[in-house]
Each structure stands twice: as C-alpha cells, then as structure tokens.
Structure 1
Amino acid sequence: MRPIPDEEFSRLIGSIYDCALDPSRWPATLGVLNDLMRFRVSTLSMHDVPTGQLLLAVNHGYSEVELAGMYAVVNHVADSWGGRERILSLPIDEPLIQTAVNPARAQCLYVREWADPFGYADALAVFLTRDAASVGTLAFGRHRDDGPIGEAEVALARLFVPHLKRALVISRLLEARAVERATFAAALDVLSVAVLLVTGDLRLIHANRAGETLLR
C-alpha cells in the first residue's frame, strides 16, 4: 500500500472536517478513503440511543442492487460481528477486522445472503461513538478479488479515526444548535407581543412574527 504524501493527507483531513459543516460531502470523502485503503464500499452510520433512530447514513461504492440486497438483511448485520453483546464489548476508536472478531461469520445470514453472493469476503469497521446519546460506526467492505485486510489498512485507518470522531461530534453539536434555535424561534412566534432581540449596539439579530409585522 502506497504511503500518503503530506499534501494529500492534509487535503483529506480537511475534507473530513468539511463534512461536519456540509454532510453532502461525506460520500466523496468516503470514496477517497475507499481508494486509499483498497476497499470497494463503505458505510458511515449513526443511530440515536435509546430509540435506535437513524441519524446519519452515508454509503459509497454500492450498486443499487447491492444496496437493496443489503437493506433486506440489515437487521442481521450485528450477527456478522458476533451479535449485539459482542459488539458492545468491542473497543472504541480501534479499527477491527470482521473475520478476526468473528471467525464464524460465514454462518451468519447477512454473510450468506448478501456479502458472499456479492463477493465481500471481509470488513473493517471502527466504532467512532458509543455513548448515552448515539452509536456511530464507519465500515469498509473488502472484495475477495482485492485480497485480505492486513495491518497496513488497520494502521492507515488509525490515522483518520481521531479526525472522523471530531467531525461527527462537530456535526452533532451543530445539529443540536440548529434544533435549539428552531425550538426557541417557534416558542417566540406563538407570542402575540412583538419580540425583538438586539445586540449591545442595537443590531437586530432576531424578530418573532409579531416583531416582523411591527417592523413592516
């Protein structure tokens, strides 16, 4: 696996942080990581805890047929890693090779009905977040034609893990702030009295609906 020139590495790190501000950039960034580590597909996902609601789902490299097949058996993904209890015991921030974590993966329905038919012989995954608020995972699929996953891929993935974690945290904070602002604005809008929020130098920063009517 080729070494990463400093300029290319810096550009990729910048792209990861750009994704925090603009989530539409994630597919392209995952594509670069795929090419760099010789993976064909990748999935970045984040689920809310405890509802299980999908907060973020980004896929790259899959054909429509592959995606449809994957979602048909997605409830069995955990089994390919040894089950939910096994997943909860796995370390955070450490790139993990699926066949090493679960040598019996071939018996899993997800593998039999999706991974094997499409040629995906192994996977590398990192738990980026796993706390009271969310569970975030980045997983890469290795096709059988591209050889086994080795220490080179694991070492390379370790370089990006801290930056991916921070990008996700920033994204969640921005999302929370946006929800907070929307809730705050909605609460002010129900008031019949005009409310104008201004800075110390009397610069208007927010007006509720009654306030906008008054200004007009």
Structure 2
Amino acid sequence: MSSSELADARLSALIAHLYDAALDSALWPGMAARTAQALDSTSTVIKLHGEGARVDLLECTDNLNVAERDRAWAEDWHRRDLWVERSVAHGLSRVITDEDLVTPEEQAHSGFYQEWLRHLDIHHMLGAVFPTADGTLGVLGIHRPRSAGAYTGVERSKVALLLPHLQRALRLGQHLSGMSRAHAAALQALDRIDTGVVVVDGRCRVLQTSAMADRLLRENTGLSAVCGHLRAQPPALHDTLSRRVRAAVNTARGHPADSATMLAIPRPGRLPLTVEITPLRPSMPAFGDPGPAALVFIRDPEAPVDQQALRALYGLTRTEAAVAGALAQGRSPEQIADRLGIGLATVRSHLKRILAKTGTHRQAEAVALLARSV
C-alpha cells in the first residue's frame, strides 16, 4: 500500500470511528490522537464554545493537557483562542489554516502565541469552526510545530472531507445524549414512585420493569412474571388482563379499542393490588423499536410508607412517623397499638401531635395527606 493509500485508509477509518463514537461515548477517548495521526500532526483539540465564554473540551491529545495547577490558565487561553475568534469572522464551516487568519509577525508577537502556543510547541494550525445542534460553536483544531512545515492544500482537502462527518457525528451524539438523559430520568423517576411499572407487548411478554414492579411481581402470586410473561390468577382474571393489554396495544397502533383499563387483583387476607393498563406508542419505529406496547401500573395499597420522608417533611419523631406510616396504610388506632406494642392512649396522643405538625384537623384528612405526600 502506498503512502497516499495508507493516508486515505486512515481518514476512512477515522470517519467510521466518528459515527461509532457518536453511538457509544466510551469510544470518544483517543479520537483526537486518531485525527492528529490521520493529518500528520502532533496535536488535535475538539471543543465547544458556548454562551458566557463557556468552553467544553470534548477531546484533545495528551500533549495539550496541562498540570492541575495550570488548569485555570489553560481555560483562560481556550476562552481567548485567537484562532477561534478569527475563524468565526472568516466564516463558519470553512476550513482554514493559521496563514489565513494571522500574519507570521502578528502571531509571533501575540500573547496567544507567546504565552500559550509556544508552551505547547504549536505553530501551524488547520481546522474549522462550525455550528452544532445545541447552538454552541464546535471547534476542530489540528496543529504541528514550525519544523513540520505549513499545511498544504492536500491536507486542507482531507479536513474538508472530514468536517461534515464530524459535524453530523457531534449532532448525533448530542441528540442521543439528550435522549439518554431523558431515558435515565424516566427510569429514576419510576424507581422513586410507589407504583410498579411494567412494559409488555400484546402477548403480555415483559419488556421492562421498574424496581417496584420487580418486587411486587416476586411477592404476589395473584400477579407475577411467569417465563417472562405477565400473568394474573385465577385464569379468568388473566383472560381479562390479556384482553385489556391487547386493547391498549391496539390503541397504541392507532386503532382505539376497549377503554376499560383498571383491574383489581385479589389477595387472600389482604387488600387487592390495583392495576392500570395504558397504551405505549413506539418512539422510533424505523430503527428497531419493538413497536406498540402497553404500560401496566401496579399499586399496592399496603405498601410501606417512607417514614424517613415523613420525618423530614413534618418534623415527626421516630415513633410519630411509625404511627403516621401505619395510618397512611389505612390501619386503625387499635391495629397500630397492637402492631407497635404500645397502648391505645399513646397512639391517640401521637395522633394529636401528628395532626398539629401536619396542619390537619381530622384523622381522615391526615391520612389523605400522609398517603399522598411520600
């Protein structure tokens, strides 16, 4: 393979790696070094310049890293990057070199060169400033020392080929990062609420569960996961569950069906679980999304109340929080006294203090507040 063919192969591999890194951020480290190697250079920086002089270094070669004690100094020069300022005036998404932006005399006498570039052994630059998806300015800077010689038209053409792929990869990465944050926030929110959430397809096959749903399905025989499928007992109730799941999935497909969405799952000697089934429309049907599904919300009226949260919200003592938590579960003062091993009069005394601290006046009012506040 000739040197020209080897250079072209490196550039092609770099472009392919850009898209892989957009899909998997773990592949970004080393991107700058790959870029420098593909352009016969010693250093590369990829960064974002945003509002308020904010600069985010996405990736740079190791020789551009500075000691911790010099971090503020380096950040200041990144904000006052002379080449970036001149490139914006020169035109966005235009491939430029240092020779397009400053004369040799101006560069040699600038503080940017004297204090910053000389420290990094940088003299020649090849790159571009370009818009990104979130309104910030992307910066690609490729550098080498004076002894390596100025960049040629061939190298400028290579960056012109690389640049649109870098822009697309960054936009894709930013978009997927936003989706990932939204997905993570949704999962964390589901794990914080006291309702179990199960995603199922039209055959009741379990696609995803929240932490609360996992616990409820393990602890209850009336509603459980059997061989990867959501199943209710007795069989007649499972038939009803299946019909309502199919109806929800059909609605998600755009064919509204039976609007009944609620079910009660009986439990011997205990309050029933309540189940709500709603449609879940596909978000990206063209890219492998499993298609329409149903969300199954499961609530246990006997689920323990977060007593620590009650203490933080209302300034309750440990015992008052235990009484309040039992009240929120629908237990009577007599049941609470028996459960906690204290006298009924003591429970009533705690209840008076709970009413005062929560600003309520009746036991039923306090129960509603406590049950809904955590």
TM class by smaller structure: 0.7 to 0.9
Aligned to 2:333: none
The residue that corresponds to 1:10 in the other structure is 12
Query: Can you list the C-alpha shifts for 1:123-158, whole angstroms capped at 9, x where unaligned?
Result: 122224346533221111121110112222211111
Give the counterpart of 2:118 among 112, 116, 119: 116
Unaligned runs of 5+ in 2: 219-374
- 1:184 corresponds in structure 2 to 186
1:185 to 1:44, Cα distance in 2 relative to 1, 3 A: same
Match of 2:61 in 1: 60
Alignment-derived partner of residue 95 in structure 1: 95
Alpha carbons of 1:203 and 1:108: their partners in 2 closer, same or farther (altered >3 Å)? farther
**Amino acid aligned to 2:98:** Q
Number of residue pairs the alignment of both structures matches: 214
Q: How much does 1:53 deviate?
A: 6.2
Structure 1 unaligned residues grouped into runs of 5+: none
Distance in structure 1 (CA, Å) of the matches to 2:102 and 2:157: 20
Which deviates further from its counterpart, 177-186 or 24-33?
24-33
Structure 2 residue corresponding to 1:193, chosen from 192, 195, 204: 195
CA distance in 2, matches of 1:153, 1:6: 11
Structure 1 residues 81 and 180: alpha-carbon distance in aligned structure 2, compared to 1, 3 A threshold: same
1:2-50: CA deviations, max 9, x gaps?
3557655433322221111233433434323312322100011235556
TM-score of the pair, normalised by structure 2: 0.50
Matched, 1:46 2:48: yes
**1:158 correspondence with 2:164:** no
Shift of 1:81: 2.4
CA contact (8 A) 1:122 1:149 kept: yes
Cα distance in 1 for residues equivalent to 2:109 and 2:170 = 33
Contact 1:74 1:110 in 2 (8 A): no
Q: 1:49 to 1:183 in 2, by over 3 A?
A: farther
**2:76 match:** 75
- 3-state SS, counterpart of residue 199 of structure 2: strand
- Distance in 2 between residues matched to 1:173 and 1:22, nearest whole Å: 12
| Distance across 2 between alignment mates of 1:160 and 1:142 | 18
CA change 1:21–1:185 in 2 (3 A) is: same
Compare 189-198 and 6-15 and name the one that shifted more. 6-15
In 1, Cα distance between the equivalents of 2:67 and 2:149?
A: 20
User: Is the Cα–Cα contact under 8 Å of residues 23 and 173 in structure 2 kept in the other structure?
Assistant: yes
- Coordinate RMSD, CA, aligned: 3.1
Check conservation: 1:98, 1:122, Cα contact below 8 A: yes
Bigger relative contact order (CA 8 A; separation at least 6): 1
For residues 186 and 193 of structure 1, what CA distance do their matches in structure 2 show?
A: 13
Equivalent-residue separation in structure 2 for 1:170 and 1:70 (angstroms): 30
- 3-state SS of 2:4 partner: coil
Q: How far apart are 1:51 and its partner, in Å?
A: 8.1
